[in-house]
Structure 1
Amino acid sequence: MKFYGLSKWELTQDLDGLVFFAQRMNELLFDFTLDSYKPSALNASFLCAEALSLISDIEEKIIESGSLTHVLDELKWSIQNDKIAKSLLELDLNYYILDPDNSPLDDVRQRLEVLGKSLGPRRYFEACKDHLHKALLSQSKRDIDFLSRTICTSLMNIGYSKAFLYNRVKTFFFHENDGKKITKLDQIEDFFSELDTKIHHFEALFLVDSLIKEVSDSVKAFNIEISDEIPTEYEETAKLKGLLPEEGEDYEYVLIKQVRAFDRHSARSLAERKIDNLSDVFSLFHHEKQISWKREALVSQKCCTELVHLVQPTTGPMQKGFDFKPQKASKALNKLISTLSLRDNSFQKFNRAADLHGISIGNDVVENQLVNLWTAIETLVPSHVSKSKIKAIVNFLMPFLTIRYIHRILERYTSDLYSWDRKISKRVLNKVPNTSGKSLALKALYLLAIDKNQDLRDELYKSFKDFHLLRFRTFNLCRILSSSEGIRNHLLTHETKVSWQLRRIYRTRNLIVHSGRTPRYTGSLIENGHDYLDQLMEGIMSISCGPFNAESLEQVFNISDMWNIKFKKQLKELDSINEHSISFLIRQKPF
């Protein structure tokens, strides 16, 4: 979360909701936002489409039939918590979603097809925009927060690039280059004018090494043209942006034509995928050297406008995780090498998972990344667990992904506070009673959860001024953490969502391997899967390198299960909120 100046705005109280929308959209689309605050992989509209696709996969025996229950549970939960989706339905939800255990599969499909028409992506998106306008007028931050998230989810699943959406938000709301001031709520229509869900036609020009000339006779069928000279319409922009071969470089100009996409970033990615596929096929017959290319491209939209843009590759989903700084990373590595207690087969499995993690980072192909990530996770699950594979994985991972969840949120919250204003944040946190020498996360927990610290919270609220997003985040965390029921419900919802997402990653892995299909939301799954794997490996290292000195993954599983039982017991017994009763939510190490 970052505060951008609002000099482009003529600020009035009427615009507070629109400012909040702009700040929330910026956070949603930023690559390194905490997963909890990113767009969901799917919303009600696309969950319905996923359920219909899953039924076809079940009939073709690609996916097990038991998966359908979990998808329908998630779909039902999503609609129940989505007032836009509910407003589009003519009948009660139970009419549309039948129990797959007590209904023929064909009947389940037919009802879902009706639901799919009611929640069609474009119909749902238009309804979201209408509700957003009302929420901006009423300045309902909770409604704007939900609508921002589900609008991003819709646009990304329709086919817009996250990079394009992020640039659109920054350019429209925060950059002054266009000379346009934001003065009224109706300008939200101008923001959406470039997000009309209409597909466009593009061309993309890449610099590819001369090895591609070996297949020049074969590429015409793929709408690819190879030339020694740059096409005239691209020459000026290439010179201006520096996309010309350096002296001594042996490159050809490769023009990918007839690319259909919603934006230029998506067009570049789709065009590059053609070159990547061509390189892979070429390597089947020539193993010594692969075709390589410069990843930035000149992209021209062939309809609506004739402008040529230099488009850089976007940050890959595996590059969006948290990193230590080099010095801290080296210390962590040295500690791991000197204290890791895993032995024999467990040590080999841990090494193999680390290898697969590294391969995923070094590979740009999303299918390979997801398959390797899932294989790494599966490698670490003890083989003696007798339940089904996916149940075993969910059960094994859950303690690592839930026990420190509140702690992780508070760590990010304090980071956001310090990024906004270190001096004010430090002053307020240091005033929190009974926290001298304690961690920032614990200070934040007491600040937000304990009723007697209301004056300190009010001091923060006033200091935030036009940073409506950070004020909302503070208020929302206070709402969750100030009651035992709020804490339990929040953790239960998180656990349920993680379980659904793990199963979705597993299904997508099977789709890639057994059908060759890649869902559009695979990038989001990789971001989540990478985060899950990192937390799992961190937890394993903590249990093996710490005072427990666990020597096998089976021991790690049993110790984590022990701590999970204790954590659930503390959570169940949590009644009144005070310093002593909630301190168990903060853990400096996973275990």
Structure 2
Amino acid sequence: MEDLEPEQIETLQQNPSHENLPAVLEVQMSHLDPHGAMDACYQLLSAQRAIAYLDPYGMAVEWGNTMHVTRLRAQHGVAIAKGDFLSARKRSKTAKPTVRSKSISNYARSITENFDSASTERLLSSIRTAALARSSGSPENQLISLWSAVEVLLSEPKDEARIVHYTSLITPCVVSRHTRRQVNAVYEGLLIGHRTRFSRILRSMPDYKETQGYRAFSQLMFLPEHADRRSTLAGILKNNPLALHRVWKLQNDYKDVKSANRTISDHADRVRWQIHRVYRARNQLVHAGRMPSYLESIILNLAEYYRSSIATIVNRAKQEDGKSDIDQIVAEIGIKYGIFRNAFDGRSTDALSEGQVAMLMDWL
């Protein structure tokens, strides 16, 4: 690839027209992987189109989603398509669209039926604002849209700093299912490679019929009376070091009350730190026009935090008898989280009880 000459760029900016735009744009991007080079070129084109918008009559500027990326002295390259950075995981070919559509329909019904009119309007407004991030190709717009969606979702601060207020409200919503996700991830991984022998161990547990699936697996991992079964599972995984390490890490994180308290606290602290990081990056963009180099990772984290928060709020509202107020629901989640933390507060080395394991899996 060759650099555009400075006078070429100046011509494009001052006199944007179809004649001045090259059919093939060659730009050298150093120290970037192919996807990063493609994204940087996309941002360059977007900037040129934005400049064209300043003209009173404007100009139609369009380009394809596929770009050809090659190394400086390479004879061949690779075609990379500009995909949706925040898109969900690709659906498998065997997935039934009708099942997914029904799930989305039920979720939409839960949003519209379980909140009062003001809360429903605010919730839908927040979701629409977040959707702008999915339709935008600019990481700056994605971050600003996602953070605006968070502010619309939550109440306005009164006597405290905005970031402190939003962090205290959204953190319990984000961390509510952390342990369950940990357990379920390891459980599903073991089912893939060791289904028969792993299932045999679970079925040997006395209460398996009442607590099947990943909930039974949580008891297997955390309760002291299942130490022999854990040793049997370790023997099954002796030729699979990665799976063995994941099982050991999960059990070690919750081997006693002290360990569980540390694991819960560390995860909540990481979420709070990440939210503060998002807010700083957003302020740099809005107030100083600076784009941090780690912007894409921040966008991914914020998008996941937002989805988790919406799911937690909606699921909590479904438990109420009547119409719910979104501020009240968020406040209740925060109170529940405080009660949950108190159950594991302390430096006790006692093993977890069955009630504490159940609370870890579903405290909300």
**TM-score if structure 2 supplies the norm length?**
0.84
Opposite residue 463 of structure 1, the aligned amino acid is I
Question: 1:494 is aligned with what amino acid?
Answer: H
Q: Does 1:581 align with 2:351?
A: no
Partners in 1 of 2:192 and 2:132 — Cα distance? 33
Instruction: State the SS of the aligned residue for 2:352.
Output: coil
Contact 1:508 1:519 in 2 (8 A): yes
Amino acid at match of 1:291: V
Residue 329 and residue 462 in structure 1: after superposition, are their counterparts in 2 closer, same or farther (change >3 A)?
farther
Per the alignment, residue 407 of structure 1 pairs with: 180
Structure-2 residue corresponding to 1:499: 272
Residue aligning to 2:86: 318
Partner residue in 1 for 2:247: 474
Report what 1:382 is aligned to.
Answer: 155
Supply the distance in 2 between the matched residues of 1:522 and 1:552 (Cα, whole angstroms): 33
Task: For 1:311-390, list aligned pairs within 5 A.
Answer: 311-313=79-81, 316-319=84-87, 326=97, 327-337=99-109, 340-383=113-156, 385-390=158-163
5+ residue gaps, structure 1, are 1-201, 205-214, 229-251
**Alpha carbons of structure 1 residues 401 and 258: separation in structure 2 relative to 1, 3 Å:** closer
Deviation of residue 400 (structure 1)? 1.2
d(CA) in 1 for partners of 2:152, 2:180: 27
Could you report, residue by residue, the CA deviation over 1:107-136 in whole angstroms, capped at 9, with x for unpaired residues?
A: xxxxxxxxxxxxxxxxxxxxxxxxxxxxxx
Structure 1 residue identity aligned to 2:352 = I
For 1:256 and 1:381, the matched residues in 2 are separated by 45
Question: Do the aligned residues in 1 keep the contact of 2:69 with 2:79 (CA within 8 Å)?
Answer: yes
Aligned to 1:268: 38
Matches within 5 A, 1:241-256: 253-256=23-26
C-alpha deviations, 1:397-419, integer Å up to 9, x for none? 12112232111211222222233
- Bigger relative contact order (CA 8 A; separation at least 6): 2
Q: 1:455 to 1:289 in 2, by over 3 A?
A: farther
Correspondent of 2:65 among 288, 295, 320: 295
Question: Match of 2:11, as an amino acid?
Answer: S
Q: Distance in 1 between matches of 2:13 and 2:51?
A: 15
- In structure 2, relative to structure 1, the CA distance for the partners of 1:309 and 1:557 (3 Å cut) is same
User: Residue 392 of structure 1: CA displacement?
Assistant: 0.9
Alpha-carbon separation, structure 1, partners of 2:296 and 2:89: 13
Indicate conservation of the 8 Å contact 2:11/2:20, yes or no: no
2 CA distance for matches of 1:289 and 1:456?
69
Distance across 1 between alignment mates of 2:90 and 2:229 = 30
Residue identity in the other structure for 1:446: Q
Aligned with residue 307 of structure 2, among 521, 534, 545: 534
Q: Residues 424, 520 of structure 1: CA spacing in aligned structure 2 closer, same or farther, 3 A cutoff?
A: farther
Asked whether the equivalents of residues 203 and 299 of structure 1 are also in contact (C-alpha less than 8 Å), the reply is no
- Measured after TM superposition, the shift of residue 256 of structure 1 is 2.1
2:237 maps to 464
Task: State the alpha-carbon separation in 1 of the partners of residues 328 and 42 from structure 2.
Answer: 46
Give the letter for the 1:577 counterpart: L
> Once the two structures are superposed, what CA deviation does each residue of 1:401-456 show, in whole Å capped at 9, x if it has no partner?
22321112112222222333433443333334423242523122112112332333
Q: How many residues align?
A: 351
1:199-214 pair list within 5 angstroms: 202=1
Selected match of 1:455 from 228, 237, 254: 228
Over 3 Å counting, the alpha-carbon distance change for 1:454 and 1:259 in structure 2 is same
Check conservation: 2:182, 2:250, Cα contact below 8 A: no
Q: Look up the match of 1:218.
A: 11
Following superposition, the deviation at residue 325 of structure 1 comes to 7.3
1:309 aligned partner = 77
Residues 431/319 of structure 1: CA separation in 2 closer, same or farther (3 Å cut): farther
Structure 1 distance, partners of 2:225, 2:217, is 14
Q: Provide the C-alpha distance between the structure 2 equivalents of 1:227 and 1:430, rounded to a whole number of angstroms.
A: 71
- Change in Cα spacing, 1:492 to 1:216, as seen in structure 2 (3 Å) is closer
Query: What is the TM-score with the length of structure 1 in the denominator?
Result: 0.54
CA offsets per residue over residues 217-244 of structure 1, 9 Å max, x none? 83499xxxx999xxxxxxxxxxxxxxxx
Gap change, CA 1:505 and 1:422, over 3 Å in 2: same
Distance across 2 between alignment mates of 1:258 and 1:569: 56
Change (3 A) 1:335 1:523: closer
Deviations 1:39-85 (A, max 9, x none): xxxxxxxxxxxxxxxxxxxxxxxxxxxxxxxxxxxxxxxxxxxxxxx
The answer to whether the 8 Å contact 1:390/1:506 transfers is yes
